[in-house]
Structure 1
Amino acid sequence: MNAPVPVRANERVAGWDGTPLALDVQLPEPGAWPVPTVVTRTPYGRSGHLAEGAGWRRRGFAYVVQDVRGRYDSDGTWQPYHNERGDGAALADWILKQPWSDGRLVAYGGSYAGHTAWALAAERPKAVRAVVSMGPSMALGRTKFERSGILRLAEHAAWWVERADGRTSRDGLTALLFRECPELLDHLPVMDLADRLGARLPGWARVIENGPDHRAEGPDTSELAHLPAAALHIGGWYDLLVDEALEHFHHAGSALPRRPSRALVIGPWGHDLGYAPGTRIGDREHGPQGRLDLGALQVDWLRRVLGGTGRGASETTVFTVGADRWRTGASWPPPSTEAVWHAHPDGTLAPQAASADGDVRFRYDPADPHPSRAPGVDRAPLAARRDAVRFTSTALEAPMTVAGNPVVVLNADSSAVSTDWIVRWNEITADGRRLELAHGSLETRHGRDAGPYTIGLTPLDITLPAGSRLQLELTGSDFPRLARSLNTGADRYRGTALAVAEQTVRTGPLDGTRLILPVATTEEPTP
């Protein structure tokens, strides 16, 4: 007798309203049935998960991957972040009726598929025993905008050009467009950019119109806190969604009397996490110790939580950049103490406050915005630009480990009706490289805001060696990563007129501009 084929490709299962949705199933030998099922729902084409599915099958899991509504072989029209809860629930109900299902589901996915995983867990909390969430992209408002509310212009353009408003992805179109038209994103108004981006993109402007507070389908903080599924949260320090991974780790299951098992893994990775071929991000090399076998880690964790061992446990595996070692424990960030570094009018950054008040000024011209650099790339070529102020420390006498979210207290004013403040904490290495460690942003308006302003920076875990210097850098733009302020008070997405702003940063002994660092007080990270 011939052995049964382990793959069932191009199955069709009805979504919540009867729309046929395409999926592939990979199954272990029938003698092993019933088994738990790993479920991925993706807008990026289920064929990209064939090898992954085979890996799960060989390890004793069923694997189901589905094209979301309106993508690739699934019928209907794709509206990003819509229909995923209902369609995920319909798929779960179908799986639970199959003879190979033991009734236990693992919601699994990264980026947009991270959203569909959490949507599935929220809809079928009794069946979803575990979530594996990798750099989850939870909503357009949360992914396309900074926490400050400023549009991530380059990310929105790149993703929409290649992914949205179509049944299939247009891989490589972004690189082609910007190679041929490198100043494409300079165009104003921003709302009209869709007409210049090389694809028909009717949904481009709607994202901007809806803004950062647009309600999403995914579970909100309260619903997340009541989910009973165990959860493995994976992120990368260079991923713009690392905040999401950390937020989910801290909130998921937190309102339950007995919190479910949870684990956190954060590595020296971008949005492709530990699956990238190299160990370098920009001009920072993390070495082979920055690699993890994420597949083996996921299987081991799932077997433990599905088997009932370590129930309720919390475990973290976090890479400390600079030390290039993994810190393990039950929580993150580790215990820390605040170290305050004060800006001085002579451009220095020091643990002592300035003895007298002083102002430092720069001009921000949106016609020549301060440019962005890719994550990890040396910023030294921008050091000569005068549209920034920089406060730099002397060389550290001993290593310093910072773990958590730095904060900048900014005492500043602008001649503009409205303007942006881009705050960046850099390391100046002993060999002269200027590497961004963390950043934040803020929009201010005359008559509406009053400083000093508290700006939270992106999280990190890093050991700075003796000889490095700390630098606090303030600019008026980070373009094209962020849509620039026009300085006129007009809507930055609809306006075209520009105004030059005179920006003033205040230093002083009482309420001057300062950088607050969470300096870890625990032992060195575990090798």
Structure 2
Amino acid sequence: MSETTEHLMPEPTHEVGEYHKVMVPMRDNIRLATHVWLPEGKGPWPVLLMRNPYVNSSDVYDPSFVLFARYGYAVVLQECRGRGSSEGTWEPYVNERSDGLDTLDWLVRQTWQDGSIGLYGGSYLSFNQWILADCLPPEVKTLYLSVMGTDLYRFAYMDGMFKPDIYTSWALSNSGKDWGEADLAEMAHNAYRIWPPIEMDEKLLGKRLPWYRDFIANSGSGDSLWNEGLWGLLKSMPPQINIPVCMVCGWFDIALETMFTAFHQLRPDIRDRSRFTVGPWVHSLVPYGDLDYPGGRVDGPNGGTKAALDWFDAMVKNQPYKEQLGVVHTYVIGDKGWRTWEQWPPENDAMLFYLNEGKSLGKRPSAQPASFSYEYDPKHPVPTAGGSTLLSVYGDSPYLPKAASVLQPEAGSRPDVISFLSEPLAQDLLVAGQMRVGLHVSSTAADTAFTVKLMEVFASGEAYNFADGITSLAYRNGSSMRLSYEPGTIVSISIELWPITWRLKSGSRLRLDVSSSNFPAYHVHPNVAGNWGEQGSPVTAKQCLYGGGDLVSFVRLPVARYLDIGNVAYCGLKGNIPSFANRFISFFVKIVVS
């Protein structure tokens, strides 16, 4: 816990009292190590429960969690099956539902708890909450969910493109292999480059990881893996929740999109009693990258320990809650502060920029057709520079890509990246919501990928990314099933970018980079049709991009209708979109081209 957070915390009401460790039996008689800290004094007490796989037998003490005992909570930390000193075999995800329900059954029978329980923990620890959400006992009053949503396909893939920096790196670090003195960042770096990718586990671990191979073998959102069994159950959870939830995420976190989806899937009456906070953070809920975020700390109502304490005091202890409920509370990058949105996305108007001749982003599509081509060689992919789909952001290493918003390479620095640039903006624009890029493209490959990256180019000439996306042609336009593609055919693709609140400055320019790789944020597409993970011989492809004339390509920004600058409220861009542009937007949203 930082000094800033310590300063914000109220004076403790208790000392930490009795501690005991219990081996709690599950339904199959496997016993899980469960640590209990009680406040000093006479109970019973409200309870906070965390189920954690990231432990070992010599280090289970989490000061930031045990701290809650000093505020009148019984703190219960359980080591997941097969982890730390718990019995059984570690199988990621498989046993968490049954073990979690058995643990709650045990917990409600304890004489030191008062009948009010809150569940806590982020990432995998939030999965351990989500997967119980449809059958919680009445003693559970709330969930505190951070950096984990419920659509695991969207967590692992974007339109057929796998995220190795999330799940390949996680597979290595959670495989049970003793790496000794090996550098795990270097191991992940090597793992990303194995062809065919599906053989990574046997080549580096000497064994198969069935769950990981299942992920690689199922690259479409319509595949049964993601819609049945455990992952189908997880995806069904948000509308089944009947207690308030507090959700916390970062603009540069791997779970951002899936958390927004889950929040909107809550029943309206539950969402009105819940809250979602999004800060300028990565998966560890800390600021990262090359920009400064004044006031962007994890503190107060902004997702830190103090925010969690305030939430549990209100929902578990029935104390007053000072913050607004039913809202999305976000940090506005470039605006140096926070805004609370009663409606998300807020009312906004589409501002369109068109890809025109001269590699310009114009406010009107050019009548003159233009085409842009480049060669994409999977053996020399474009390295990831920033973004929201990176997990290996903990520490500096020559093997780790840099996450969040970072200084970008200059336009034209690679021949396989086409950069488009707008004129300087005439006024500040508050981008608030989800962005979209619509392109007309063709390729000499039977399947390939196209990537996009949006960035703000400041008056100094420095460019910083704020959104990116990718699609394969096989799963273009969000198709749930694999589509065919005839090489050389021009098709339209629509790439949905993750949401953000970002203030573009007057005098800045908008830059769009289009390419075919963003590695290792996404896997290197081999330019071969079929399952990507089974391909061992990538080939080079010629890619073409079209704009102007009848083949309009564009960037759509959701601009908040009113932007407060000082004491002046500037009206948004309502009515600035010509009718033909609206037709093109509708076209790109609805079309599915085979």
Common fold: TM-score over 0.5: yes
Deviation at 1:328, TM superposition (A): 1.6
Equivalent positions of 1:220-231 (< 5 A) are 220-231=234-245
Equivalent positions of 1:355-370 (< 5 A) are 355-370=367-382
| Whole-angstrom distance in 1 between the partners of 2:536 and 2:296 | 49
Kept in 2: contact 1:38–1:105 (CA 8 A): yes
Q: Counterpart of 1:250?
A: 264
Equivalent positions of 1:75-90 (< 5 A) are 75-90=87-102
Deviation at 1:111, TM superposition (A): 0.6
Q: Counterpart of 1:434?
A: 463
Q: Counterpart of 2:136?
A: 124
Deviations 1:347-378 (A, max 9, x none): 00011111222211111111211221222222
Q: Counterpart of 2:312?
A: 302
Deviation at 1:208, TM superposition (A): 1.6
Deviation at 1:286, TM superposition (A): 1.3
Kept in 2: contact 1:121–1:128 (CA 8 A): no
Number of equivalenced pairs: 512
| Whole-angstrom distance in 2 between the partners of 1:193 and 1:51 | 37
The one-letter code matched in structure 2 to 1:472 is: L
Is 1:161 equivalent to 2:172 in the alignment? yes
The one-letter code matched in structure 1 to 2:26 is: G
| Whole-angstrom distance in 1 between the partners of 2:265 and 2:151 | 17
- Partner of 2:532, secondary structure, is coil
The one-letter code matched in structure 1 to 2:204 is: L
The 1:464/1:48 distance shift into structure 2, 3 A limit, reads farther
Gaps of 5+ in 2: 1-13, 386-401, 475-482, 568-594
| Whole-angstrom distance in 2 between the partners of 1:295 and 1:526 | 32
Kept in 2: contact 1:121–1:229 (CA 8 A): no
1:455 is matched with which residue: 475, 481, 495? Answer: 495
The one-letter code matched in structure 2 to 1:208 is: I
| Whole-angstrom distance in 2 between the partners of 1:332 and 1:140 | 22
Q: TM-score, normalised on structure 1?
A: 0.89
Deviation at 1:197, TM superposition (A): 3.5
Q: Counterpart of 2:215?
A: 207
**Deviates most, 216-225 or 83-92:** 216-225
Q: Counterpart of 1:472?
A: 512
| Whole-angstrom distance in 2 between the partners of 1:139 and 1:70 | 25
The 1:490/1:292 distance shift into structure 2, 3 A limit, reads same
**Deviates most, 328-337 or 80-89:** 328-337
Kept in 1: contact 2:16–2:40 (CA 8 A): no
1:421 is matched with which residue: 450, 455, 472? Answer: 450
Is 1:63 equivalent to 2:75 in the alignment? yes
| Whole-angstrom distance in 2 between the partners of 1:99 and 1:525 | 56
Q: Counterpart of 2:103?
A: 91
Deviations 1:84-121 (A, max 9, x none): 11111111111111112122221111010010011233
Q: Counterpart of 2:84?
A: 72
Q: Counterpart of 1:175?
A: 185
**Deviates most, 460-469 or 154-163:** 154-163
Deviation at 1:183, TM superposition (A): 5.4
Q: Counterpart of 1:379?
A: 408
Kept in 2: contact 1:24–1:65 (CA 8 A): yes
Q: TM-score, normalised on structure 2?
A: 0.80
Is 1:261 equivalent to 2:273 in the alignment? yes
- Partner of 2:533, secondary structure, is coil
Kept in 2: contact 1:117–1:133 (CA 8 A): yes
The one-letter code matched in structure 1 to 2:249 is: G
The 1:185/1:447 distance shift into structure 2, 3 A limit, reads closer
| Whole-angstrom distance in 1 between the partners of 2:151 and 2:180 | 21
| Whole-angstrom distance in 2 between the partners of 1:11 and 1:171 | 33
Task: Report sequence identity in percent.
Answer: 25
The 1:62/1:504 distance shift into structure 2, 3 A limit, reads same
Q: Counterpart of 2:581?
A: none
Kept in 1: contact 2:353–2:362 (CA 8 A): yes
Is 1:508 equivalent to 2:537 in the alignment? no
The one-letter code matched in structure 2 to 1:432 is: G
Equivalent positions of 1:474-489 (< 5 A) are 474-489=514-529
Is 1:314 equivalent to 2:326 in the alignment? yes
Equivalent positions of 1:17-56 (< 5 A) are 17-31=28-42, 33-45=43-55, 47-56=59-68
Equivalent positions of 1:344-363 (< 5 A) are 344-363=356-375
**Deviates most, 53-62 or 131-140:** 131-140
The one-letter code matched in structure 1 to 2:185 is: A
Deviation at 1:504, TM superposition (A): 1.2
Deviations 1:251-295 (A, max 9, x none): 2233x5x6561111111111010xx4xx4x222121354442411
The one-letter code matched in structure 1 to 2:374 is: F
The 1:503/1:260 distance shift into structure 2, 3 A limit, reads same
The one-letter code matched in structure 2 to 1:451 is: V
1:151 is matched with which residue: 143, 146, 162? Answer: 162
| Whole-angstrom distance in 1 between the partners of 2:271 and 2:377 | 51
The one-letter code matched in structure 1 to 2:161 is: I
- Partner of 1:186, secondary structure, is coil
What is the RMSD of the two structures over their aligned residues, measured on CA atoms? Answer: 2.9
| Whole-angstrom distance in 1 between the partners of 2:565 and 2:20 | 45
Kept in 1: contact 2:369–2:547 (CA 8 A): yes
The 1:284/1:129 distance shift into structure 2, 3 A limit, reads same
1:399 is matched with which residue: 412, 417, 428? Answer: 428
| Whole-angstrom distance in 2 between the partners of 1:220 and 1:510 | 43
- Partner of 1:217, secondary structure, is helix
The 1:458/1:170 distance shift into structure 2, 3 A limit, reads farther
Q: Counterpart of 2:590?
A: none
Kept in 2: contact 1:424–1:473 (CA 8 A): yes
| Whole-angstrom distance in 1 between the partners of 2:167 and 2:347 | 36
Deviation at 1:325, TM superposition (A): 0.6
| Whole-angstrom distance in 2 between the partners of 1:56 and 1:104 | 15
The one-letter code matched in structure 1 to 2:55 is: G
Kept in 2: contact 1:162–1:173 (CA 8 A): no
| Whole-angstrom distance in 1 between the partners of 2:182 and 2:511 | 36
Deviation at 1:484, TM superposition (A): 1.2
Q: Counterpart of 1:105?
A: 117
| Whole-angstrom distance in 1 between the partners of 2:192 and 2:271 | 46
The 1:126/1:100 distance shift into structure 2, 3 A limit, reads same
The one-letter code matched in structure 2 to 1:298 is: A
Q: Counterpart of 2:342?
A: 330
Kept in 2: contact 1:327–1:526 (CA 8 A): no
| Whole-angstrom distance in 2 between the partners of 1:340 and 1:429 | 20
Deviation at 1:222, TM superposition (A): 4.1
Is 1:194 equivalent to 2:204 in the alignment? no
The 1:498/1:329 distance shift into structure 2, 3 A limit, reads closer
| Whole-angstrom distance in 2 between the partners of 1:286 and 1:355 | 41
| Whole-angstrom distance in 2 between the partners of 1:248 and 1:169 | 36
